[in-house]
Chain A
Amino acid sequence: MGKAIVVTSGKGGVGKTTTTAALGAALAQGDQKVVVVDFDVGLRNLDLVMGAERRVVYDLINVIQGEAKLAQALIRDKRLENLYLLPASQTRDKDKLTPEGVEKVMTALKKTFDWVICDSPAGIERGATLAMRHADAAIVVTNPEVSSVRDSDRIIGLLDAKTAIAERGERMEKHLLVTRYDPTRAETGDMLKVDDVLEILSIPLLGVIPESTDVLRASNLGTPVTLADARSETAQSYFAAARRLMGEAVPITIPSEKRSFFGMFFGRKAA
């Protein structure tokens, strides 16, 4: 049985889709069987970032509506044979996303794949709540600025209230991924520091991804950052986050300050 992870944030434009693609590709390079699922019905992007936009025939809604089999809708990545994409529909109504349908698809995917990574739409509406509903763990993507942090806090509250796990009385496993981190702006106080974000959200840190032009270049090429240039700082941060997700104890480094924050952050696991 695989593990379903929702990549969520509340706020838009913080890097959910980039993260979904990068972590999916990083895990797949570690010999894991991975599927990335786009839940953003009507505003899909994951297919572009994965470079599969011209190969979409069927989508998630088709599968839920019974118009296509799951195997027909899955698109295998051309570069990594362990990596698959389940695209969202760009044209259909998002109300076609039903709780029962989503549950059925998620259960089927978890039987076949080691990792099911769901790219949640922004907001706290139907798409976002359904994306998190059947997840086993959540990656909360946050930019180091106040509006993003507050929206993430709201999402964490929903993860503890509106998910199948929470309704069974259990705790959802949550990880914080700080993206678009600019060390110079954090130093001058234009941006929140990682410590501040951690203090406010009080969930364990999965990684810190630096702000970089690599991300834009990679998504324009239709390649996950962890495939475009595996040696870039961004890719390295995502690789490290993927290894931590698999349970490895990899020290966390804050971009540009090469000091290890391992002891510090692992001592403050909370919530």
Chain B
Amino acid sequence: MTEVLTTAQPIRLKGRSFLAMVLNPEPPFDDWLTRLDDLAERSAGYFLNKPIVLDVGGLDIDRLQLRELTRQLGDRGIRVMGIEGAASSLLVPDLPPAIDGGRPASDFVTPASELPDVDTGRSSGRTRPDDFQPGRTVPSIIVTEPVRSGQSLMFEGDITVVGSVASGAEVVAGGSIHIYGTLRGRAMAGSAGDTAARIFCSRLEAELVAIAGFYKTSEDMGPDLRGSSVHMWFQNEMLMSEKLG
């Protein structure tokens, strides 16, 4: 029996970012859990299927308390995926792993209370409908100059280019890419794995386009799209494209 050692398929490592809900327990924890129950009661399944991170930074908490807290949360169907701000000595293997490097995003909107005075959370003001913040804000930049050959434009959010992207230039965005000009170089949207990212250009002459790591070279693109304004997105593991306007 011979083993074929040369056919090792490379493992594809994808990057992806998720928005996690961060819970800040406040002592006394029994009190805090009661408020949490109250919130859960108002909105059944509010914490269901949401990635939850427990932030214990600045809290005077020991291992027993922490274990008790995660157990209590587990009883309520809230499974903690990571603990932020805890001393590494606290985190024994049966507790969720440490997590850090989170970047701030806008707050989740908690279900409004019928009785405003019940809501005693520290961020009570944010729960009012007039302070409603629609989701998270996606950062974006606008470039008003042509992107020249040899230049590489990278940004974590959306990129809008008012001008052309030259042959031999590349635009790499974590989000979507909008090009009000001719795209002759490369455009890579959703570079961190965001499959919802899209590419728009006024005129397609691209060398390569990619969304979430799936790419098409100039040869793979239909000749009928060449020279027209095109919209590209990702669907069913495929790069889809259609003419605009």
> A150 is contacted by which of B145, B166, B182 (Cβ under 8 Å)?
B166
A150-B163 in contact given A157-B148, A157-B150, A157-B151 (Cβ < 8 Å): no
Contact call A157/B149, Cβ cutoff below 8 A: yes
Q: Using Cβ atoms and an 8 Å threshold, which residues of chain B touch A4?
A: none
B25 within 8 A of A: no
> B164 is contacted by which of A146, A150, A160, A200 (Cβ under 8 Å)?
A200
B162 → chain A closest CB, angstroms: 11
> A154 is contacted by which of B164, B168, B182, B184 (Cβ under 8 Å)?
B168
A29 within 8 A of B: no
Contact call A153/B149, Cβ cutoff below 8 A: yes
A156 within 8 A of B: yes
Contact call B149/A150, Cβ cutoff below 8 A: yes
Taking A150-B167, A150-B168 as given, write out 11 further A-B residue pairs in contact, using a Cβ cutoff of 8 Å, ordered by the A residue number: A146-B167, A150-B149, A150-B166, A153-B150, A153-B166, A154-B148, A158-B150, A200-B167, A200-B184, A202-B163, A271-B145
B146 within 8 A of A: yes
Contact call B146/A154, Cβ cutoff below 8 A: no
Contact call A154/B145, Cβ cutoff below 8 A: no
User: What 1/0 flags go to A136-176 for Cβ under 8 Å of B?
Assistant: 00000000001000110110111010000000000000000
8 A Cβ contacts from A181-229 to B: 199-200, 202
Q: Using Cβ atoms and an 8 Å threshold, which residues of chain A touch B146?
A: 202, 271
Contact call B168/A202, Cβ cutoff below 8 A: no
The residue of chain A having its C-beta at the shortest distance from the C-beta of B163 within the complex is A202
Q: Using Cβ atoms and an 8 Å threshold, which residues of chain A touch B164?
A: 200, 202
The residue of chain A having its C-beta at the shortest distance from the C-beta of B148 within the complex is A157
Q: How far is the CA of A151 from the CA of B149 in the complex (A)?
A: 7
Q: How many residues of B contact A (CB 8 A)?
A: 14
Q: Mostly helix, strand, loop or mixed at chain A's interface?
A: helix
Chain A, interface residues (CB within 8 Å), range:
10 to 19
A201 → chain B closest CB, angstroms: 8
Q: How far is the CA of A151 from the CA of B150 in the complex (A)?
A: 9
A-B contact pairs, 10 of them (CB 8 A): A150-B149, A150-B168, A151-B149, A153-B166, A153-B168, A157-B149, A157-B169, A200-B166, A200-B167, A200-B184
A-B contact count (CB 8 A): 37
The residue of chain A having its C-beta at the shortest distance from the C-beta of B167 within the complex is A150
8 A Cβ contacts from B147-203 to A: 148-151, 163-164, 166-169, 182, 184
Q: How far is the CA of A153 from the CA of B167 in the complex (A)?
A: 9
Q: How far is the CA of A271 from the CA of B146 in the complex (A)?
A: 8
The residue of chain B having its C-beta at the shortest distance from the C-beta of A203 within the complex is B146
Q: How far is the CA of A146 from the CA of B164 in the complex (A)?
A: 16
Enumerate the 3 nearest inter-chain pairs by beta-carbon distance, A residue then B residue, closest first: A157-B148, A153-B149, A154-B149
B218 → chain A closest CB, angstroms: 13
A154-B163 in contact given A200-B184, A271-B145 (Cβ < 8 Å): no
The residue of chain B having its C-beta at the shortest distance from the C-beta of A156 within the complex is B148
Q: How far is the CA of A150 from the CA of B151 in the complex (A)?
A: 12
Q: How far is the CA of A73 from the CA of B164 in the complex (A)?
A: 44
Q: Using Cβ atoms and an 8 Å threshold, which residues of chain A touch B184?
A: 200
Q: How far is the CA of A268 from the CA of B125 in the complex (A)?
A: 53
A13 → chain B closest CB, angstroms: 19
The residue of chain A having its C-beta at the shortest distance from the C-beta of B205 within the complex is A200
Q: Using Cβ atoms and an 8 Å threshold, which residues of chain B touch A271?
A: 145-146
The residue of chain B having its C-beta at the shortest distance from the C-beta of A124 within the complex is B150
Q: Using Cβ atoms and an 8 Å threshold, which residues of chain A touch B149?
A: 150-151, 153-154, 157
Q: Using Cβ atoms and an 8 Å threshold, which residues of chain A touch B166?
A: 150, 153, 200
A54 → chain B closest CB, angstroms: 40
Q: Using Cβ atoms and an 8 Å threshold, which residues of chain A touch B167?
A: 146, 150, 153, 200
Q: Using Cβ atoms and an 8 Å threshold, which residues of chain B touch A150?
A: 149, 166-168
Q: Using Cβ atoms and an 8 Å threshold, which residues of chain A touch B148?
A: 153-154, 156-157, 160
Q: How far is the CA of A156 from the CA of B166 in the complex (A)?
A: 11
Q: How far is the CA of A153 from the CA of B184 in the complex (A)?
A: 12
Q: Using Cβ atoms and an 8 Å threshold, which residues of chain B touch A153?
A: 148-150, 166-169
Q: How far is the CA of A61 from the CA of B164 in the complex (A)?
A: 40
Q: How far is the CA of A57 from the CA of B148 in the complex (A)?
A: 41
Q: Using Cβ atoms and an 8 Å threshold, which residues of chain B touch A157?
A: 148-151, 169
Q: Using Cβ atoms and an 8 Å threshold, which residues of chain A touch B169?
A: 153, 157
User: What 1/0 flags go to A46-68 for Cβ under 8 Å of B?
Assistant: 00000000000000000000000
Q: How far is the CA of A156 from the CA of B151 in the complex (A)?
A: 11
B208 → chain A closest CB, angstroms: 15
Q: How far is the CA of A154 from the CA of B149 in the complex (A)?
A: 5
The residue of chain A having its C-beta at the shortest distance from the C-beta of B181 within the complex is A202
Q: Using Cβ atoms and an 8 Å threshold, which residues of chain A touch B151?
A: 157
